[in-house]
């Protein structure tokens, strides 16, 4: 791994990096969330059912800042999956990262991003992509995200009702029916928790009335015909009580815009001494509306081809799209130029293993965070196969955070705090 020790971000605390100019809004929020939760852990949810995914999220949610999903391997992926994941992410305070690895021409990736059975743009704030199709893949995904979030019909409801009929005018068992129906469509409902939304509505109604009707005290006997069993009770159509039928439809349009980069604001601690995580996150607020992209610059598998010039081209393309590209999937920090403040997520992290026999190579948190300058460790099987996944996630969280603190100088090697906190 090449060294990134000379770049300023190498020794800067996450909180300071969140306030740097031109930092992607979602990156800034993630850095601040990391400080509050004292975590730089992302768990890879390599599971195959909705129940398994939601159970894992519940178990590890308190220890992580990111949950990496593979929606295309969830055999029963549906609206229940999206709603459950959204609910847990909000309660446990983490961000969802869909490991889609887009890699096709622009028009195709746009369809994959916003459409199909997954509708990824709805529920995953972060996605990733290869750059081998060329730089157009970045602009295509960016345009698709902006279009999807700029405005949408949040709800369409139609109601049909008939006025209530006087019970004393007809037998109690008369076959008179009333109907109502409603439908709702919210194609981007995963975003409704974000601030900055304005709502407008319009409605239209139409009423049709039957001809004027007499108002008898009772239905004449000649208008009542015998039913099949010889009893009276069926009313002839021509003598049914006319009704006012009202059909109304309302369309509510919700306009949401990508939030601007957060301003540095006053220099106040993100988390006061003794303050709970939930209290500090309440002060932090909700994640900014918007979507962000990670570029696959390096891989952890043996013999992969994402090396050398390819990795350099990734960094160059990212610099041209800082407002959308938040960072990289890589084995080291790729911040090289003065304005670089990209976040780096590194997969293949394990406290014990060295490989899986299928090409995966593992490194420990110290090597990834301290030596290579990465920011977030991605852990999969090390946590998934543990007997107590919550406990194992907490071990990885502590190890990753300790490596970060030693890197930026808030700890001495050996673990004793320099500042006594």
- Give the residue numbers marked as catalytic: 101
Farthest CA pair distance, the chain: 100
- Torsion region of 383: left, alpha or beta (phi above 0 gives left; psi -120 to 50 gives alpha): alpha
Q: Read off the tokens for 298.
A: 């390096």
H/E stretch holding 155: strand 152-162
Classify residue 130 by its DSSP letter.
Answer: -
- Sort 234 into a burial class: Cβ within 10 Å, 0-12 / 13-18 / 19+: middle
Query: Is 281:36 a contact under the CB 8 Å cutoff?
Result: yes
Q: How far apart are CA 238 and CA 210, in angstroms?
A: 11
Q: How far apart are CA 33 and CA 287, in angstroms?
A: 9
Closest CA to 189 of 79, 59, 29, 111: 79
Give the phi and the psi of residue 191 in degrees, each rounded to 5. -95, -5
In terms of DSSP bridges, do strands 152-162 and 244-256 run parallel, antiparallel, or are they unpaired?
antiparallel
Task: Give me the sign of the Cα torsion angle 321, 324, 329, 330.
Answer: positive
Q: How far apart are CA 325 and CA 142, in angstroms?
A: 9
> Which residues, at least 6 apart from 281, have a Cβ–Cβ distance to it below 8 Å?
33, 36, 93
Q: Read off the tokens for 224.
A: 């009542």
In terms of DSSP bridges, do strands 292-296 and 244-256 run parallel, antiparallel, or are they unpaired?
unpaired
Q: How far apart are CA 78 and CA 95, in angstroms?
A: 19
Q: Strand, helix or coil at 30?
A: helix
Q: Read off the tokens for 267.
A: 């220099």
């Amino acid at each position: 791994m090449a060294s990134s020790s000379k770049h300023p971000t190498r020794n800067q605390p996450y909180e300071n990096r969140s306030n740097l100019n031109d930092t992607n809004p979602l990156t800034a929020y993630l850095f601040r969330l990391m400080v509050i939760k004292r975590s730089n852990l992302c768990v890879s949810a390599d599971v195959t059912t909705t129940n398994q995914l939601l159970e894992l999220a519940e178990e590890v949610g308190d220890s992580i800042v990111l949950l990496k999903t593979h929606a295309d391997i969830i055999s029963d992926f549906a609206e229940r999956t999206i709603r459950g994941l959204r609910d847990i992410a909000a309660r446990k305070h983490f961000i969802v990262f869909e490991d889609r690895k887009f890699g096709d021409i622009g028009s195709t990736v746009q369809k994959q991003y916003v459409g199909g059975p997954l509708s990824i743009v709805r529920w995953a704030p972060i996605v990733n992509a290869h750059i081998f199709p060329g730089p157009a893949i970045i602009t295509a995904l960016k345009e698709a995200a902006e279009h999807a979030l700029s405005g949408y019909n949040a709800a369409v409801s139609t109601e049909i009702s008939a006025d209530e009929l006087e019970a004393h005018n007809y037998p109690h068992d008369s076959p008179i029916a009333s109907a109502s129906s409603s439908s709702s469509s919210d194609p981007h409902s995963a975003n409704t928790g974000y601030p900055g939304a304005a709502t407008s509505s319009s409605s239209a109604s139409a009423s049709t009335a039957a001809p004027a009707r007499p108002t008898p005290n009772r239905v004449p006997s000649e208008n009542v015909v015998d039913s099949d069993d010889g009893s009276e009770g069926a009313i002839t159509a021509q003598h049914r009580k006319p009704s006012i039928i009202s059909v109304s439809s309302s369309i509510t349009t919700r306009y949401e815009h990508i939030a601007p980069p957060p301003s540095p604001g006053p220099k106040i601690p993100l988390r006061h001494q003794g303050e709970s995580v939930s209290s500090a996150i309440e002060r932090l607020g909700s994640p900014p509306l918007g979507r962000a992209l990670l570029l696959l610059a390096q891989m952890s598998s043996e013999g992969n081809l994402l090396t050398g010039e390819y990795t350099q081209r990734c960094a160059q393309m990212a610099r041209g799209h800082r407002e959308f590209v938040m960072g990289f999937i890589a084995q080291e920090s790729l911040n090289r130029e003065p304005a670089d403040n990209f976040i780096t997520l590194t997969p293949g992290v394990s406290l014990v293993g060295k490989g899986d026999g299928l090409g995966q190579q593992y490194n420990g948190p110290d090597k990834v965070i301290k030596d290579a300058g990465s920011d977030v460790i991605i852990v999969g099987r090390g946590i998934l196969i543990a007997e107590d996944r919550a406990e194992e996630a907490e071990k990885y969280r502590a190890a990753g955070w300790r490596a970060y603190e030693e890197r930026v100088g808030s700890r001495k090697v050996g673990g004793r705090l320099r500042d006594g906190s």
